[in-house]
Structure 1
Amino acid sequence: MQEGQVDIKTPEYVSLQFQPAGLGSRAAALMMDQIILSILNILIVVILFFATTGNNSPFGFYLFELNSTLWGVAIVALFVLNWGYFFALEYFWGGKTLGKRLLGIRVMQENGHSVTLLSCFIRNLLRIIDMLPASYFLGMIMIFLHSKHKRVGDIVAGTIVVHERRVKGKRKEIAIEKEMRNRGLRKEDLSVEAWALKQLGTKEWSLVKTYANRFSQLPRSERNQLSKKLADILFPKLGLNMEGKTYNELEDTLLLLYLEMRDEWEYEL
């Protein structure tokens, strides 16, 4: 089945066009993730084996005598690692695992927003079904046959995996990056929790991007007014207090927000 375009209208009435990721790219990304997980699993098992063999270890080191409880805890830890790897990375890393990032694909909601905690939880919990009867057979069949290349987890969670291409226009990026460099701003300076950033969607990204692109072109008085208006809209959603802040401090925070959001939202589909 060839990959086609999917048109989606966001809650903000913005029309977006997506190219769903097909079976080949998704399988390749999963294979990379499984290789990474396999290496981690083997390392944990080997370390635990030598830690529980006691004086019988051929390497002559030990931490604990053979303990069934410890192995039970390890089995639970391995399950959490293998399931939590996909859940944590997709939620906190803009819908991407390491494999997806290398392949240039990402998970997002069908309304164009980034994945929520609930949708990310559901789609990854239902991997158990997609894996049946073995080796993601059901999931692969669903991806191949579904018009939007969805597996069971995607259908139930309302998510879609899409290709992304970075925006090629760099003139404005360079200008704003120069401004931020002159101000000594880095992403690490933004004191906003990851869960708070998840409250921002395409509408907020559009506002922040427009602000950053017009920043150096605006007269000082207009820039101050725009900074104040944008801060009034965004800061309450992020749990930031703007009271007592100077215009320069408002600008710094808004530019840092642009820098943080750009990694997740600056793409063409």
Structure 2
Amino acid sequence: MLDTVREIHTPEGVALRLPAAGPVPRAFAWLIDLSIRFALVLVASMFLGFLGRVGIGVYLVFLFLVVWAYPVAFEAMWDGQTPGKRAMRLRVLAADGAPIGWMAAFVRNLMRTVDMLPFGYAFGLSSSLIDPWGRRLGDIVARTMVVHAPRVREAAGAHVNAIHAPPVPLLPGEQAAVIAFAERAGTLTPQRQQELAGIAEPLTGAQGDAGVVRLFGVANWLTGRRA
């Protein structure tokens, strides 16, 4: 299945384009995580084997944590990414584009027991090939999806130093939206920055890079920076 883009409209009217990941990059991410878990279990067995029955008990607990807690904890605490997903630049998000929570991470990984049936992830692969956004059964039940994570880019220095007073008074919600843009800009692509800044054209009077710079300047002015 080719990777596809899912477009989600937020309550604010902003269209989020989420590039859904197909089964191939997800399989490579899974293999990386499997290798890491196998290495952890192998090292633990070497050391715990010297502790006799106590070591066996500790090993079984450790094995359970590596098999089940590893993906849940990483996805819930590490921005929706396991080490394998981060290596493949993938991320798990909620179906509405929000960050994944503990419950969703637990459900989607618990459902792997069904996705693996009858063997070789047959159900999961079939589901990902049929679903428009490549979701396996666990993602459908947990209302999550795996997307390609964009490269993190730092905001340009000109954006940080620009200061522009807003031409009109802004409501509290509008002020919060402008400041939120400046805080998140470092994680957005230049195209995404320009897209969001275009929404604020009535405020900035500019589009493209100039609109981004002016919007940063308004955010700096709102947070108390002055020339």
One fold, TM greater than 0.5? yes
What letter is aligned with 1:145?
I
**CA contact 1:29–1:102 (8 Å) conserved in 2:** yes
C-alpha displacement of 1:11: 3.9
Distance in 1 of aligned mates of 2:160 and 2:78? 22
1:163 deviation in Å? 1.1
Give the conservation status (yes or no) of the 8 Å contact 2:8–2:15: yes
Aligned to 1:173: 156
Q: In structure 2, how many angstroms separate the alpha carbons of the residues matched to 1:142 and 1:216?
A: 43
Q: How many residues align?
A: 185
Using a 3 Å threshold, how does the CA distance of structure 1 residues 157 and 207 change in structure 2: closer, same or farther? farther
Distance 2:177 2:31 in 1: 32
Partner of 1:152: 137
CA contact (8 A) 1:3 1:19 kept: yes
Q: What is the RMSD of the two structures over their aligned residues, measured on CA atoms?
A: 3.0
Residue in 2 that maps onto 1:121: 106
Equivalent residue of 1:95, what SS? coil
The alignment's TM-score, normalised by the length of structure 1, stands at 0.60
| Offset at residue 128 of structure 1 (A) | 1.8
Q: How many angstroms apart in 1 are the aligned matches of 2:77 and 2:114? A: 24
Which structure 2 residues correspond to residues 156-235 of structure 1 after superposition, within 5 A? 156-166=141-151, 172-175=155-158, 207-210=179-182, 217=217, 223=221, 226-227=222-223
Could you tell me which of 37, 59, 81 is aligned with 1:74? 59
Aligned position for 2:198? none
Q: Which residue of 1 aligns with 2:86?
A: 101
Q: Match of 1:5, SS?
A: strand
| Amino acid across the alignment from 1:33 | D
- The yes-or-no answer on 1:6 pairing with 2:24 is no
Q: What secondary structure does 1:88 align onto?
A: helix
Percent identity between the aligned chains? 33
Partner SS state of residue 138, structure 2: helix
Q: SS at 1:113's partner residue? A: coil
2:27 is matched by which residue type in structure 1?
A
One-letter amino acid of the structure 2 residue matched with residue 15 of structure 1: A
Give the distance between the partners of 1:165 and 1:97, measured in 2 at CA: 16
What's the secondary structure of 1:128's corresponding residue?
A: helix
Q: Which runs of 5+ in 1 are unaligned?
A: 53-65, 180-203, 228-246, 249-269
Asked if 1:87 corresponds to 2:47, the answer is no
**1: CA distance between counterparts of 2:178 and 2:92?**
20
Deviation at 1:214, TM superposition (A): 5.9
